[in-house]
Amino acid sequence: MYLLHEGRGLLVLALLAGLQITAEGRGTPPCKPGFSEDVYKAVVPDITEKGQPLFNVRFVDCGKGGLVLFECSDPSDFWIEADGVVYAARSLRLSALRTLLPLVIKARDTTTQQQWETQVNLTPSTHSGQQVQEVVPPVVSQDLKEIVFPSQHAESQLKRMKRDWVIPPINVPENSRGPFPQELVRIRSDNDKNRSLRYSVTGPGADQPPTGIFIINPISGELSVNKPLDREHISNFHLRAHAVDLNGNQVENPIDIVINVIDMNDNRPEFIYQIWNGTVPEGSKPGTFVMTVTSVDKDDPKTVNGMLRYKILSQNPESPTSNMFTINNKTGGIITVAAGLDREKVPQYTLIIQATDMEGSPMYGLSNTATAVIKVTDINDNPPEFTAETFFGEVPENRVNVIVANLTVTDKDQPNTPAWNAVYKITGGDPTGRFSVPTDPTTNEGLVTVVKPIDYEMSRTYVLTVEAKNEVPLARGIHSPRQSTATVSIRVIDVNESPYFEPNPKLIKLEEGMMPESTLTTFTAQDPDRFMQQSMRYSKLSDPANWLRIDPNTGRITTIAILDRESPYVKNSLYNATFLASDSGVPPASGTGTLQIFLLDINDNAPRVFPQEAEVCEKPEPNAINITALDGDLNPNAGPFAFELAHRPSDVRRNWTITRLSGDYAQVSLKIGFLETGIYELPIIITDSGNLPMSNTSYLRIKVCQCDINGDCTDAQHIMAAGLGTGAIISILLCIIILLILVLLFVVWMKRRDKERQAKQLLIDPEDDVRDNILKYDEEGGGEEDQDYDLSQLQQPDTLEPDAIKPVGIRRMDERPLHPEPQYPMRSAAPHPGDIGDFINEGLKAADNDPTAPPYDSLLVFDYEGSGSTAGSLSSLNSSSSGGDQDYDYLNDWGPRFRKLADMYGGSDD
């Protein structure tokens, strides 16, 4: 047995070495799978936390590699992992249990279903009164407790060990201040008495990332922590200790060491949001849930370091009381604790919430704050109220979709919400539904609107009762006051209404053929304005055939022409005429009425043959022509018809015959074997079946022609028979002649235009006649400021081609003389500034000696532009008022170009 003790009454870990019970046997038994011991004895802390590793059991599978599942007899207090480590299933105190029964652990092979069982006797540690928040003092090397590798007898090859070691975890507080390295425990083997051993540890924190946290003295076996630990980063470490000789041979089986990092209160609570938003309806009862605020603490939530408590520090505004809300100190749920929430008075509350760890300890706990903004939402606790008891309005009669009055209300609820939006309803005074009251969505006013025409003669005033409500019902216990109902008085204005015909349209039946000046009927209109003494006048508005006349005073309608049912203005025997009735009101009003005349048919139209043109072959076969008759009358004044050939000319009945096929059809055919080609007019007498039958002689135009085997005409006259007559051919020829004349006129005009262009070219110079960068034009026009010159056309005269020079005989006197060009000095690309003056002087001398340079001393010739110029005469212009007294001799100093001017102006009067 051995003990691992931590100072100051902290958790004492004792590792007990059980008595080895060996079973003697004969020979070397084969490897059997099962637990390494039948009975384990483990010393565990008296106070354990949930999830804390306590001890481990060892299972030997003899290399089979099957899946083995472990079960614990007390799963409510302990659970075992697949690696054999047993953990606390809950926080418990072993010494408080009345009877500490042995813990039975079972193992089951999932493949063979074979089971094994072992027993663990738990012994609570007598030094278990640790407080996790206390700092463990550094362990002095000489006081270090030892973890001893299990000892083995020499005859261990012949005897199986019945019990194994169970090593409790090592607890190390986080954020230790050192000094470092800080010794934790000494690992030792019983085999170090007779030989030198070397100790080492492996696992995360030692030789695996994060490396360098734990180190071991390879000779003494002292295990130390090399730096402060952070539980929020890594809460526990699983290491494995090894013992080897100087040759590296393993002398002990590795043992597992679990190091738990004990939490310290080193983190403040942090709210998830710094500002929390919630809502609560106004008028809510106490205990109404509002919202939940949440804070987190990185410390261990299983200890007081991570146990938070909430409270409200302040409330703004403190109306109607300073404690309108309370908060659940554990969950952070905010509820109301007082009545009196009224959005119209306090629309919003601001709470400062504090979260403190260490179960809210004001002395040892760490705190943080957040803001909770609670908006009081609106409910319909204020009904709409009219601003007046009675509203007034007026509307002209017969007007619809007209707003008569605007009803205004007040509502203290939140605007533009269902609790504020008003809905108006007419509860009285409108039995016929002539009014409606929609709501203006912007102003919330009620718009009294006329939806059906109002007749002044029926009712002159209307008194409506209107009730105002909201889109949602009022809150429980709130009733509509008297101000939610108002009266609307509407006065109807009388207007001059249009007269109306009754009935409209008016239908009468007459026989066609009625003579002029016959009276048909009286068509009068009614005036709806009973309270106005007005006269009525009638006029004709529409009479397509101009058959009728109406008396302007009495409305009597008479005929002025014969009524004809076959007129194109009559549709389906019905003739429509429209009349206008106007009263004497101010302004006058008028109405229209339609008179429909149904004309009964009489036999007043003689039948005529149809079709009027046909063609037959010279020979009798096939030679039949089917004809019928057209009659504008209706039955029985139309068919059946009687067809016969006229008696004259005499050859009609000799050459042709007619056969009746039915009451409406007959057949005309040749009576002789051959008839000469030509066009024949065949008179046919047709008689209808009227009460007084009417006969008519119609002419059937028949073309007799040569036919092919199909019975179709083959000669050239077939074109004319097809409808292309002489008039059409003449029209086509006239169009062709007119087209030719137009083409001829266009050609003549083009030739004349070319001649004018050539004659005009003789009076002007070629376009490329450019002298001294000056372009010559036929017209003088204005000055240079009035011209838009194309500078690309300007060029030096010396660039003209030699063949472009005109002969001397046709040159103008003001053109440049033909002389050899003088050689002007050439200026270098980059002259020296001192050479500019010499260059100018040389150029001036060359220009003075150049007889071809302008101005040319010759007479300029211009075209005569006529007399009477609006610019006036130029003879009155003088160079100076005293030009005669000036001395022009200085012009001689300007070179040979100005000497002529000096002689002209500077000489004597002679």
Helix (H) or strand (E) holding 468: strand 461-470
Say what the pLDDT of residue 824 is: 58
Residue 723 pLDDT > 70, yes or no?
A: no
pLDDT digits (tens, 9 = 90+) for 561-603: 888 888 889 888 899 999 999 888 778 888 899 998 888 877 7
Exposure string over 642-670, b if 16+ CB within 10 A, otherwise e? bbebeeeeeebeebbebeeeeebbbebbb
Rounded mean pLDDT, 108-114: 84
Residue 744 pLDDT > 80, yes or no?
A: yes
Amino acid, res. 311: K
Can you count the helices (H) and strands (E) in the chain? 5, 58
Say what the pLDDT of residue 617 is: 80
Rounded mean pLDDT, 830-851: 73
Q: Which phi-psi region, left, alpha or beta, contains residue 747 (left: φ > 0; alpha: ψ -120 to 50)? A: alpha
Residue 831 pLDDT > 70, yes or no?
A: no
Residue 822 pLDDT > 70, yes or no?
A: no
- Interatomic CA distance for residues 224 and 187, integer angstroms: 11
When pLDDT is cut at 50, 70 and 90, the band that residue 155 belongs to is: very low
When pLDDT is cut at 50, 70 and 90, the band that residue 237 belongs to is: very high
- Label the pairing between strands 92-93 and 103-109: unpaired
- Interatomic CA distance for residues 637 and 631, integer angstroms: 8
395 vs 813, residue with greater confidence: 395
Amino acid, res. 267: N
- Interatomic CA distance for residues 375 and 326, integer angstroms: 16
Helix (H) or strand (E) holding 279: strand 275-281
Cβ-contact 451, 356 below 8 angstroms: no
Say what the pLDDT of residue 132 is: 31
Mean pLDDT of the chain: 78
Three-class secondary structure assignment of 392-426? EEEEECCCCCEEEEEECEECCCCCCCCCCCEEEEE
Q: What percent of the chain has pLDDT over 70?
A: 77
Q: Tell me the two tokens of residue 822.
A: 């003088």
Distances (CA, A) of 163 to 17, 18, 160: 9, 7, 9
Which of 528, 532, 530, 561 has its CA nearest to residue 544? 561
pLDDT digits (tens, 9 = 90+) for 326-350: 999 999 999 999 999 999 899 999 9
Amino acid, res. 300: D
41 by Cβ neighbours in 10 Å (0-12 / 13-18 / 19+) ranks as buried
Helix (H) or strand (E) holding 594: strand 590-600
Cβ-contact 43, 15 below 8 angstroms: yes
Helix (H) or strand (E) holding 141: none
Residue 164 pLDDT > 70, yes or no?
A: no
Say what the pLDDT of residue 89 is: 85
Which of 347, 427, 332, 426 has its CA nearest to residue 379? 347
Query: 0.85 cut: is pTM over it?
Result: no
Residue 142 pLDDT > 60, yes or no?
A: no
- Interatomic CA distance for residues 340 and 299, integer angstroms: 41
- Interatomic CA distance for residues 678 and 703, integer angstroms: 6
